Amino acid sequence: MEVAEGRPADSATARGNIRFEGVRKVYREARGEPVPALERIDLELPGDHSFISLIGPSGCGKSTLLKLLAGIEQPTEGTVTCRGQRVTGINTRISYVPQGKGLFPWMTLRDNIELPLKIAGLGAAERARRADEWLGLVELRGFENHFPRQLSGGMEKRGSLARALIADRPVSLMDEPFGPLDAQTRLTLQQHLLGLWEKLRNTVVFVTHDLVEAIALSDLIVVFSPRPGRILEVVKVPLPRPRDVLTVYDYEGFNALYKPLQRMLLRDRA
């Protein structure tokens, strides 16, 4: 198992990189009690066409890290930098796929997918052209006038991916996007996501609880401790690309990567 340095010294000023420096995040309960979510996060991630998974036990701060990078939350201490600029408010360099149902239920699928382009000020004709392209990419043509309640879970997730990726942001954040789906649909969407990522050549930061999913998709896996979250390891995934998620178990090096990561996760949950 190859361990990557969390903060490569020779790339500290690289414009494309994502950096967390001395980051702590503490929430407050209703009674005012402090709830530490993240502690001493010093981490640098490549920002140019990399797939990075965050993995660790529930409540360890993975989703919080995404929210800090998105600018939805601000750190209690430390700084977050994305592509050369400090994140102090909503980060317009990213797209975001949240947990659970991501589409607005009062909008049709087409309207949902076009929304980021409408916010960006694109005209109706260009929005329609690009929405048609993405409906094709996620294999949802013919469903553009359906509302989310009329779609299956897998179809809604594909729509959420299209809405997140259509604006062509350099960084996409995905918070357990396939978590509630059945195993077969999940595998199909994993392969679909890899194809879209190869087409866009952006960076994806992806939260998951599934170690096999993390290995199948990623270039780097960031392993978190239990809450308050700390970085245990940043591990390189040496498996060749393009990858087939259905046969990733058979790749040379899979077991050498999976077994120590599994032991690390089990040990730190004990």
Least confident of 9-13, 41-45, 93-97: 9-13
Indicate the residue type of 246: L
- pLDDT band for 212, please (50, 70, 90 cuts): very high
Indicate the residue type of 98: P
pLDDT for the residue 12: 40
Are residues 159 and 105 both part of a single domain? Answer: yes
Cis (ω within 30 of 0) for the bond into 34? no
Query: CA 127 to CA 113: how far, in whole Å?
Result: 9
Of 168, 192, 211, the one marking the end of a domain is 168
- pLDDT at residue 13 is higher than 80: no
- How many domains does one find in the chain? 2
As given in the structure block, the two tokens for residue 139 are 């294999």
Are residues 225 and 164 both part of a single domain? Answer: no
For the segment 111-133, the average pLDDT, to the nearest whole number, is 94
Tens digits of per-residue pLDDT, 165-186? 998 899 999 999 987 788 898 9
Of 135, 153, 168, the one marking the end of a domain is 168
Contacts of 179 (CB under 8 A, 6+ apart): 99, 208, 209
pLDDT for the residue 150: 96
| Percent of the chain clearing pLDDT 70 (strictly above) | 93
Are residues 106 and 134 both part of a single domain? Answer: yes
Are residues 261 and 178 both part of a single domain? Answer: yes
pLDDT for the residue 221: 97
Are residues 137 and 13 both part of a single domain? Answer: no
pLDDT for the residue 269: 59
Cβ atoms of residues 198 and 124 within 8 Å: no
Tens digits of per-residue pLDDT, 214-230? 999 999 999 999 999 99
CATH number, domain of 54, equals: 3.40.50.300
Phi-psi sector, 22: left (phi>0), alpha (psi -120 to 50), beta: left
As given in the structure block, the two tokens for residue 122 are 């694109």
pLDDT for the residue 15: 54
For the segment 35-58, the average pLDDT, to the nearest whole number, is 93
Instruction: Provide the strand spans (E) within 119-236.
Output: 171-175, 203-208, 220-224, 231-236
Q: Whole-number mean pLDDT of the chain?
A: 90
Are residues 145 and 236 both part of a single domain? Answer: no
- pLDDT at residue 9 is higher than 70: no
Alpha-carbon dihedral of residues 167, 173, 179, 181, nearest 10 degrees? 10
Are residues 68 and 149 both part of a single domain? Answer: no
pLDDT for the residue 268: 58
pLDDT for the residue 8: 42
pLDDT for the residue 3: 66
- Quote the domain boundaries for residue 158: 99-168
For the segment 248-266, the average pLDDT, to the nearest whole number, is 93
- pLDDT band for 98, please (50, 70, 90 cuts): confident
Cβ atoms of residues 187 and 229 within 8 Å: no
Are residues 132 and 239 both part of a single domain? Answer: no
